[in-house]
Amino acid sequence: MYCYKIGERIEEVTLSSFKGNDFQFAAVVTPTEWNEKKPEFDMGIEMEIGLDQILGTSVEVNYDSLTGSFYIPDRANITERAFRFAFALDEKGIVFIDDGDTARDIINRIMKSKKFPRPSLERFMYDFLEQIILKDQKLLEGYDHTLDEIEEQILDGSGSDALIRISDVRNDLRDLRFHYSQLIDLCQELEENENGFFKEDNERYFHLVGHRVENLYTMVGSLMDHCVQLRDYQQSITDIKQNKTIALLTIVSTIFMPLTLIVGWYGMNFRYMPELESKWGYPGVFIGSVLVVVLCLIYFKKKKWL
C-alpha cells in the first residue's frame, strides 16, 4: 500500500489511520489490501472489486462516497491492451485499487512535475486526469500525419495496403473516441458535486479538464471522418481502374466481333461459295479483316475510348 499527502507537493507518507488527518490523501492499494483495510478508510463502501470486469471509465454516486473505475487504453497498442483500476473517493481523499503500477506511476509523475499553490483533492484529481491525456494531442497529430501519408500513396498509386492501414487507424480512433466519451461523463459527474465533497470554487478544475477531453473527442471525430473519406476515395480509384479494364475488354471484344462473324461465315464451307474457289479469296478476307481492325481503332481513338 502506498499513501500520499496532498500538499503543495505530493508527498509519500506512512499512515496508520486515515481518520482525523488534517490533510487530504491519496492511496494506492491492491484488491486484497482493499478488502483487508476497507474499514480503515471509513468510506462506508461495500464494493467488491473485480478489476478484470472493468470495461470502461465510469463513476457512481453513493450516499457518502464516489466509486468508479478507469479503463485507459495503452497508447502504444490501443486496440489490444488497456490499464484497469478502480477508485473510491470522499471528502477526505481518494483510494485507487490497482493490481498493477498504473495509478502509482501517474501519481509519481505528478510528484515530480507539479506544485500546488493551493493544494486540494480537486486539484490533485485535475492533474491525475491531465496525466491520462497528457500526450494525446501529439498522438492524434501522428494519426493525422499517417492519414496524409496514406492519401499521398493513394494519389501516386502506391497505396496497395491503404485500406488495411486506414482500417487500423480507424479502429484505434474508435477506441479513443469511446475512451474520451467516458472521461467526459466522468468529469461532468465530478463537476456536479452531488455529495458536496468538493469546494464550489474548485469545481472549475473538472470543467477545465473536461473541456480539454472534449477537444480531443472533436479531433478524433474529424480524423474518423477523414478515414471514411480516404476509404471512399480509395474505393472510387479501384472502381475507376476496374471500369477502365472492363472498357478495354469491351473494346477488344467489339473489334473482334466482326472478325468472328467473318470466321463463322466462311467456316460454313457451302459448295457454291465463290470465294472458296477464287485465288483472291484468302487475301481478300485477310485484307478485309485488317481494315475492320484499323477502322475500329481509328473510330475508338476519335471517341477517346482508347
What is the C-alpha separation between 301 and 306, in angstroms, rounded?
5
Against a cut of 0.85, is the pTM above it? no
Label each residue of 166-195 as H, E or C.
HHHHHHHHHHHHHHHHHHHHHHHHHHHCCC
At 237 the pLDDT is: 77
Say which CATH superfamily domain 241-302 falls into: Magnesium transport protein CorA, transmembrane region (1.20.58.340)
Distance of CA 274 to the CA centre of its chain: 76
pLDDT tens over the chain, length 306 residues: 888 888 888 888 886 666 667 788 889 999 888 888 777 777 766 666 667 778 899 988 887 888 889 999 999 999 888 999 999 888 888 999 998 899 999 999 998 887 778 888 999 999 999 999 999 999 999 999 999 998 888 888 776 788 888 999 999 999 999 999 999 999 999 999 888 888 888 889 999 999 999 999 999 999 999 999 888 887 777 777 777 788 888 888 888 888 888 888 777 777 777 777 777 777 888 888 888 888 888 887 887 776
Residue 242 has a pLDDT of 79
Delimit the domains of the chain by residue range. Answer: 1-119+127-132, 241-302
List strands edge to edge, sheet with 25-29.
Answer: 10-13, 2-6, 25-29, 93-97, 82-90, 66-73, 58-61
Other beta carbons less than 10 A from residue 268's beta carbon: 8
**Where do the DSSP E strands lie in the chain?**
2-6, 10-13, 25-29, 58-61, 66-73, 82-90, 93-97
Rounded Cα distance between 289 and 33, Å, is: 92
Phi (first) and psi of residue 198, to 5 degrees: -110, 150
Q: Which of 130, 282, 281, 16 is nearest to 3 (CA)?
A: 16
Give the span between the Cα atoms of 46 and 195, in whole angstroms: 18
HSE toward the beta carbon, residue 303, CA cutoff 13 A: 10
Fold of 1-119+127-132: Beta Polymerase; domain 2 (3.30.460)
d(CA 102, CA 74): 11
- Tell me whether domains 1-119+127-132 and 241-302 share a fold: no
Beta-bridged to residue 70, according to DSSP, are: 85
